[in-house]
C-alpha cells in the first residue's frame, strides 16, 4: 500500500526551520517560526515556570490520567485570566472549560464540536490568517469562508471590507477572530471596531470563535482582552481558544484551553459534555505537566507577580525591536516608510517584502522569512539587526 504513496508537501513554516538548521552560514537569521526569543536569540524557560516545576516535583504524588476535561483548578484560572474574576460570566457560572494540548488542540476540539452539533455552520476566517487555521477547520469537516482583513497597502485593517464580507454570513455561522496580535499581520481592530464587530455578531446571530494565542504580547494581559470583553455581552455565546505556548513560553508542553460561554449554566454544561465526547474519541485526555505549571503560577500570588513581570519583559523587548528596526531601516532607506512596523502588535508583522525578495534574502544572506513576507519580530536581536537591515536594504 505504501510503495505508491507520494510525499505530502512539507509544512510551509516548519519546513523553513529545517532549512535554517541545515544552513552553515554563521550569520544566518531565522524570522520565520512563531516562537519568542530573548536578546541572546534563545527561547527561554521562564523563572516562574522553573519555580513552579520545582514545587510540582515536591508536591506531585501521581502521574495518573487527568479527567477528559483536564485539571479543574487550571480551568478556573484560565477563565479568570480571560474575563477577570469578577466578570458576570464567571459569577453566573455560564462558562465551562476543557484543557487541551495547546491552542491547536483547542481549535480542533472547537471545530469538531461545531461540525458534530451544527453541521450546517460554516467558519469565516480573516484573509490572511494563521496558516494552520484552515488546515484545522477543514480537517474537522468545516467549510471555510474568508473575510477581507488587510487594506490595499497591506499595513492596516480594511474594516469596511471585513463588514461587507461578513454581511454574507448566515445565522449560526462561526467567525474566527484573533483576540489580539493578529497572526500574520500584527494588525488588530480598534476598540470602536471591536464594538462594531460585537454589534454585527449580535445582529446576525453569529458564533465568535476567539483565538487567544498572544495574551500579554500586545499591550498587556488585561488590555489585550478588551476585544474579547466587548464580545462578552449579557447572554452572548462564545468559544475561546487559549494558548499558553507564547506567554508562558511553554511551547513543547502543549498547554491550551477551550472555553465556552453560554447564556446560562445548564447550556454551558451541555456544551461541555459534547466537547468532552469529542476529546475522548480524539486524544482521550490532556497532558498533565504544562497545565499543572500554569495552574501553580496563576494560583500563587508570588509566582503570578513574577510571571507578569516576565510577560512584560517579553512584550517590552518585542516593542523595542520594532522601534529599532524602523530606525535602522530609516537610516538605510530613508525613502521607504517602515513606521507601520512600530504601530503593529505582537510577534508578527507583514514586512511588505515580495516573495522574490524573500527568496533573495534566503539565498544570498541566509535570512529566513515566510514567503508572504511575514516576519517574526521576536527573532530580531541588537546583534543581528544591522546585518538584517543591511540585507533588506540591499534586496529592496
Please report, as ranges, the residues that interact with ligand PMP according to CB under 6 A. Answer: 34, 102-104, 130, 178, 183, 211, 213, 243, 245, 256
Q: Work out how close the CB of 106 gets to ligand PMP at its nearest, in angstroms, rounded to a whole number.
A: 8
Closer Cβ to ligand PMP, 70 or 357, answer by number = 70
CB 279 within 8 A of CB 68: yes
Q: Which three three-digit cell numbers place residue 393? A: 536594504
Other beta carbons within 10 Å of 46: 22
Q: Using omega within 30 degrees of 0 as the cis cutoff, is the peptide bond preceding 130 cis? A: no
CB 259 within 8 A of CB 78: yes
Cα–Cα distance for residue pair 272/146, rounded to 1 Å: 28
Q: Work out how close the CB of 37 gets to ligand PMP at its nearest, in angstroms, rounded to a whole number.
A: 14
* Cell 475522548 belongs to residue: 280
Closer Cβ to ligand PMP, 102 or 198, answer by number = 102
72 CB-near residues (< 8 Å, 6+ apart): none
What's the gap between Cα 390 and its chain centre?
Answer: 30
154 CB-near residues (< 8 Å, 6+ apart): 350, 352
Closer Cβ to ligand PMP, 198 or 290, answer by number = 290
Q: Work out how close the CB of 387 gets to ligand PMP at its nearest, in angstroms, rounded to a whole number.
A: 26
Cα–Cα distance for residue pair 242/178, rounded to 1 Å: 11
Q: Work out how close the CB of 180 gets to ligand PMP at its nearest, in angstroms, rounded to a whole number.
A: 10
| Closest residue by beta carbon to ligand PMP | 102
- Strands annotated E in the chain: 29-30, 95-100, 122-127, 143-148, 174-178, 207-212, 238-243, 256-261, 348-350, 367-368, 374-376
Cα–Cα distance for residue pair 172/273, rounded to 1 Å: 20
Cα–Cα distance for residue pair 288/295, rounded to 1 Å: 11
Instruction: Identify the three-state secondary structure at position 241.
Output: strand
Q: Work out how close the CB of 208 gets to ligand PMP at its nearest, in angstroms, rounded to a whole number.
A: 15
Q: Give start and end residues of each alpha helix (H) in 167-225.
A: 191-204
Closer Cβ to ligand PMP, 34 or 218, answer by number = 34
Closer Cβ to ligand PMP, 112 or 211, answer by number = 211
Q: Work out how close the CB of 394 gets to ligand PMP at its nearest, in angstroms, rounded to a whole number.
A: 30
From the list 165, 173, 211, 224, the catalytic residue is 211
From the list 130, 145, 224, 307, the catalytic residue is 130
- CB-count exposure of residue 395 (10 Å: 0-12, 13-18, 19+): middle
Closer Cβ to ligand PMP, 142 or 328, answer by number = 142
Identify whether 130 is a catalytic site residue.
yes
Q: Work out how close the CB of 214 gets to ligand PMP at its nearest, in angstroms, rounded to a whole number.
A: 7
Identify whether 204 is a catalytic site residue.
no
Q: Work out how close the CB of 218 gets to ligand PMP at its nearest, in angstroms, rounded to a whole number.
A: 13
Ramachandran sector of residue 219 (left: φ over 0; alpha: ψ -120 to 50; beta: rest)? alpha
Other beta carbons within 10 Å of 7: 5
Closer Cβ to ligand PMP, 32 or 51, answer by number = 32
Closer Cβ to ligand PMP, 349 or 366, answer by number = 349
From the list 165, 188, 246, 307, the catalytic residue is 246
Active site residues: 130, 211, 246
Amino acid at each position: 500500500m505504501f510503495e505508491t504513496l507520494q510525499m505530502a508537501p512539507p509544512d510551509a513554516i516548519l519546513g523553513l526551520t529545517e532549512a535554517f538548521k541545515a544552513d552553515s552560514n554563521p550569520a544566518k537569521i531565522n524570522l520565520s517560526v512563531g516562537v519568542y526569543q530573548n536578546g541572546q536569540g534563545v527561547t527561554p524557560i521562564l523563572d516562574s515556570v522553573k519555580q513552579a516545576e520545582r514545587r510540582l516535583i515536591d508536591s506531585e504524588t501521581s502521574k495518573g490520567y487527568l479527567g477528559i476535561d483536564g485539571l479543574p483548578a487550571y480551568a478556573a484560572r484560565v477563565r479568570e485570566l480571560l474575563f477577570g474574576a469578577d466578570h458576570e460570566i464567571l459569577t453566573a457560572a455560564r462558562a465551562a472549560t476543557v484543557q487541551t494540548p495547546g491552542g491547536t488542540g483547542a481549535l480542533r476540539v472547537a471545530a469538531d464540536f461545531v461540525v458534530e452539533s451544527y453541521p450546517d455552520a460554516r467558519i469565516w476566517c480573516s484573509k490572511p490568517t494563521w496558516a494552520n487555521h484552515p488546515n484545522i477547520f477543514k480537517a474537522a469537516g468545516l467549510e471555510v469562508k474568508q473575510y477581507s482583513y488587510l487594506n490595499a497597502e497591506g499595513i492596516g485593517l480594511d474594516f469596511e471590507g471585513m463588514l461587507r464580507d461578513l454581511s454574507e454570513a448566515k445565522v449560526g455561522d462561526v467567525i474566527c477572530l484573533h483576540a489580539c496580535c493578529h497572526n500574520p499581520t500584527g494588525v488588530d481592530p480598534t476598540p470602536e471596531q471591536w464594538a462594531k464587530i460585537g454589534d454585527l455578531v449580535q445582529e446576525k446571530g453569529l458564533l465568535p470563535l476567539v483565538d487567544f494565542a498572544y495574551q500579554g504580547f500586545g499591550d498587556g494581559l488585561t488590555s489585550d482582552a478588551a476585544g474579547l470583553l466587548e464580545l462578552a455581552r449579557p447572554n452572548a455565546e462564545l468559544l475561546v481558544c487559549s494558548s499558553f505556548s507564547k506567554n508562558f513560553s511553554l511551547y513543547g508542553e502543549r498547554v491550551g484551553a477551550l472555553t465556552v460561554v453560554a447564556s446560562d449554566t445548564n447550556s454551558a454544561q451541555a456544551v461541555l459534555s459534547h466537547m468532552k465526547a469529542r476529546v475522548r474519541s480524539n486524544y482521550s485526555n490532556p497532558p498533565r505537566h504544562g497545565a499543572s505549571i500554569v495552574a501553580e503560577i496563576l494560583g500563587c500570588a508570588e509566582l503570578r507577580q513574577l510571571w507578569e513581570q516576565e510577560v512584560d519583559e517579553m512584550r517590552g523587548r518585542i516593542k523595542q525591536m520594532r522601534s529599532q528596526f524602523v530606525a535602522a531601516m530609516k537610516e538605510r532607506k530613508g525613502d521607504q516608510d517602515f513606521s507601520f512596523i512600530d504601530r503593529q502588535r505582537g510577534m508578527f508583522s507583514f514586512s511588505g517584502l515580495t516573495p522574490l525578495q524573500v527568496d533573495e534574502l534566503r539565498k544570498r544572506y541566509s535570512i529566513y522569512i515566510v514567503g508572504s513576507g511575514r516576519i517574526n519580530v521576536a527573532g530580531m536581536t541588537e546583534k543581528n539587526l544591522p546585518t538584517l537591515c543591511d540585507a533588506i536594504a540591499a534586496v529592496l
